[in-house]
A and B are shown apart, each in its own frame.
Chain A
Amino acid sequence: MTTSNPRDPDSGRAGIRSEEAALSTAIETDDATWFDEFTIELRLLGVPGSDIGDALASAREFLADAGTSAEACFGSPRRYAAELGLETIPLRRVNRGGLLSGLGVLGLFGFLLSALPLVHGEAVELDLVTLVVVVAVVIVVVIVPTLLKVLARLRLRPWMVVVAALLGLATSLTLGRWGNGAALLTVPALPIVIVSALLVLVPAIWSQARHSLHDDAIVDPGGSPEVRPSISTRLFLGAITWGMVILSIVVWLFALFGEPLER
C-alpha cells in the first residue's frame, strides 16, 4: 500500500520505489527460508556437504538470472530436493547424535535428583511426580532422535506453543492433585550419581570426537572446507557439546555450596 500523493510524480516514484524495495525484501526473506528448508531436506536425505553446496550455488545462480522467487522457480524445497536425485550417504534410522544428546539430558536430570541427597548422605526418594517426569524424559529422549525428520520439518506455530503450555499446566495440576509427596521408591544416591555421570560425560566426549573427525561441512563449489572454524562456530559447538556437563557442574556447585549461601 502506498502513502504517496498520486499527483506528485516524485512522490509517486518514491512510493513505487519503496513498494519495490518492500517486495524485494519480502522475496529475499522468503528465499532465505526456502534455502534453509532446502538445506535441511538435502541433509535429511543424506546428501554430502559438497553436493549440497553445489546444489545451493546452482539454485542461487539460476535465481539471479531468472529474477523470481525460489518457491516459484523450484517449487517446494522438499520436492525439489527429492527430484534432484543426488547421490546420498545412507542415514541411520535413529539419529545417534540426537540420542546421545538426549542421554545427556537424562544424566543432568539424574544429578538434579541425586546430587543433594548424596551430599547429605541420604537416599533418593522418588514420589509419583518425579517418576512421571523421569518416564516423560526417557520417552522424549527415545522419541526425539527417531522422529528427527518430522521435527526438523516442523514449523513452530503459536497455537502449538499454546497447546504445549496448556498440556504442561494440566499435567502439573493433575500430578499435584494426585501426588501427595509420599515416596513410592527409595534408591541409594551413589548409583544414580555414577550412572548420571556416565550419561553426561560419554555423549559429550563422543560428540567432541565426532565433530573433530567426521564433520561434513557444506562447501561452495571450488571452495575448500574451513581448516579451522570461526571462533563463534567453535564456541557454539562447544556449548552444544559440553552444555550438559557445564549445567551438571552448576548443579553440583549448588548442591555443595548452595546451603551455606542460603544461611
Chain B
Amino acid sequence: MRAALSLCVLRALAPGPTYGYAIATALEAAGFGAIKGGTLYPLLTRFEAAGWIAAEWRPGAGGPGRKYFSLTDDGQRELAEQSAHWQLFSTTVHDHLQKGPAES
C-alpha cells in the first residue's frame, strides 16, 4: 500500500505544481481515504531528497504562504518507470486471479 501511495503521490504532481493539502485532497477524492500530513510529508521529503520533486514557497497573506511541489525531469522519468512496473505487476496479479495457478 505504501509503495502504491508513493506512486500515486508522484502521479498527483504530474499535472503541475501543487501543495500538500491539495495532494491529500486529490488522493482522498480518488478513493484513498483521508491522507494525513504525517503520511504525506515524509514521502514528499524523500522525493525531494531523491531529486524527483522540487519545492518552492509561494508568498501568502501575512506569512510564508504555501509550499508548492513540482516534478523534476528525474521525477517525470521515475513516475513513468514506476507506472510501467506497477502496470506489469497489476496485470500479472490480475491474470493470476482470473486464471488461477498454472497446472504442472
Contact = CB atoms under 8 A, between A and B. Distances in A.
A61 B41 CA distance: 12
B77 interface: no
Nearest to A79: B38
B41 A62 contact: yes
Interface size on A, as a range, is: 20 to 34
A221 B38 contact: no
A85 B24 CA distance: 20
Interface in B55-90: 57, 59, 63-67
A222 B57 contact: yes
Main secondary structure of the interface of A (DSSP, over half): helix
Interface in B3-59: 19-21, 24, 36-38, 40-42, 45-46, 49, 57, 59
B2 to A, nearest CB: 12
A67 B57 CA distance: 21
A133 B29 CA distance: 65
Contact of A57 (B38, B45, B64): B64
A221 B24 CA distance: 22
Nearest to A70: B37
A72 B63 CA distance: 23
B24 to A, nearest CB: 8
B45 A62 contact: no
A80 B63 CA distance: 23
Given A66-B37, A222-B59, A61 B20 contact: yes
Nearest to B20: A62
B21 A66 contact: yes
Contact of A65 (B21, B38, B46, B49): B21
A37 interface: no
A144 B73 CA distance: 49
B64 A86 contact: no
Contacts of A55: 41
A24 interface: no
Interface in A41-56: 54-55
Interface of B: 19-21, 24, 36-38, 40-42, 45-46, 49, 57, 59, 63-67
Given A62-B21, A84-B45, 9 more contacts: A65-B20, A66-B37, A72-B36, A75-B38, A84-B41, A85-B42, A85-B45, A220-B64, A221-B64
